[in-house]
Amino acid sequence: MTELEASRIVEELRNLDIGTVREDEPLRRHTSFKIGGPARVFVEPDSQSGVVAVLQWVRDHEVPYFIIGQGTNVLISDQGLNAVVISTSRGLKSIAVDPPCLRAGSGVLLTKLSNTAAKAGLSGLEFAISIPGTLGGALVMNAGAHGSSMVAVVKRVTVWDPVHGVREIAAKEAEFEYRQSRFQKTPWIALDATLELEPRDFAAIRELMTHHMEYRLRSQPVGEANAGSMFKNPLPHYAGQLIERIGAKGWHENDAEVSMLHANFIINRGSARAIDVLRLMRRIRCAVFGDAGVILRPEVRWIGPGEGGTNTSWDNLWYEEGAGLKAPCE
C-alpha cells in the first residue's frame, strides 16, 4: 500500500461514516507492551455493523487488514503494519444477560464480563477477572488461568469470514486447545459470543475472584508494560520455572527486561523496541534448550510486515528480522 493508496483508503473509509479513521496511527498506543510502529490506516468503528462494513470493504478491495482488541497478547513490529488495522474496542461492546447465559460483543473486556457474570450470580468466569484483554482476543487464544479457560464456557460464537459473511458457529467448531483455536488458522473475526454459566451464590463467586486477583498481584508484574506470558508452558514443564532456572531474571536487551517477579514475563522499561524483545526471547530460548533440552514456543503473537501486509508466523518473522529462530540457537 503506497502513501497515495493509503490516503485514498482513508477517504473511502471515512465516507462509510462508521467511526474514526486515522492514518499512520502509532500502534504502541494500542498495546500493553507499549511497542509497535504505525498502522498505515487505523479504524475504530462505533458499532458491529460498522465493523462488518469495514471488513467487507477491505475484502472487496483486497486490502490487507488486521484486527486488534486490547493488544495485550501481541508483539507488533517496529516497522508497523502496512495494512488497515481494525479495533474492536468501541464497536463490539454489547452485553446481554439471559441466565444461565451471557452474550457479549468481542470488544468487551474480560474483567467487565467476569464482573457482570458475578453480579448476575453466574459462575464460570471467575478465572477471567485477572486476564486483561477483550473477549475476542480471549477466544482467539483460548485464554485461561487458575485451572480454567474460555473453552469451559463458550457455547456459540458469531463470526465474520470473507467467504460466508456473518454466521454463527458452535463452540466445538472453534477447536479450542491450550492457548490455541481455529481462529489462529482461519480468517475468522469474532463478533460476539454466547457463554453458558452456572447459577451460584454471589459471595462465593466474589471470594474466588478476590483470591485470583490477590494471587495475580503477588506473582506478576502488574502495572508494568508487558504482554503477559511470553512462552507457552511446554507441559509438563512451566516456562517460568525453566527460565528462572537458567538465571534469566533481570536479563535485558536495551529497555526490554526479564521480570524479576516472573521469569516468563518481559517488561518494557520505557523505550524497548520489538527487536529488543525478539533478541531477549532468542537468548532465553537458546539457554533453556541448552539447559533442559526443551524448545520454548511463543505464546505472544508476532504481528509484523510480511506478504500481504501482515504476518503472524514466528519462523518467518525471526528469519526476516535477522534473529533467525528456526532452531532455538541458530
Instruction: For residues 68 and 89, give the distance between their C-alpha atoms in angstroms, rounded to a whole number.
Output: 8
Pick 194 or 220: Cβ nearer ligand FAD = 220
* Least spacing, CB of residue 158 vs ligand FAD, in Å: 10
Q: Which of 25, 126, 253, 299 is catalytic?
A: 299
CA nearest neighbour of 83 among 326, 284, 310: 310
Q: Which of 149, 229, 257, 285 is catalytic?
A: 229
* Least spacing, CB of residue 330 vs ligand FAD, in Å: 25
Which of 138-177 are b and which e, b meaning 16 or more Cβ less than 10 Å from the residue's Cβ? bbbbbbbbbeebbbbbbebbbbbeeeeeeeebebeebebe
134 Cβ partners below 8 Å, 6+ apart?
Answer: 69, 70, 88, 89, 92, 106, 107, 108, 109, 110
> Which residues are at the interface with ligand FAD (CB under 6 A)?
32, 66-74, 88, 106, 131-134, 136-138, 140-141, 143-145, 183, 189-190, 220, 226-228, 301
Give residue number: closest CB to ligand FAD: 137
Pick 183 or 318: Cβ nearer ligand FAD = 183
State yes or no: is 299 an active-site residue.
Answer: yes
State yes or no: is 179 an active-site residue.
Answer: yes
How many alpha carbons fall within 13 Å on the CB side of residue 307?
2
Q: Which of 156, 179, 273, 279 is catalytic?
A: 179
Instruction: For residues 73 and 75, give the distance between their C-alpha atoms in angstroms, rounded to a whole number.
Output: 7
* Least spacing, CB of residue 261 vs ligand FAD, in Å: 11
Pick 66 or 318: Cβ nearer ligand FAD = 66
* Least spacing, CB of residue 46 vs ligand FAD, in Å: 16
Pick 83 or 138: Cβ nearer ligand FAD = 138
CA nearest neighbour of 303 among 78, 76, 102, 139: 76
3-state secondary structure (DSSP) of residue 324: coil
Task: Give the residue numbers annotated as catalytic, written as ranges.
Answer: 179, 229, 299
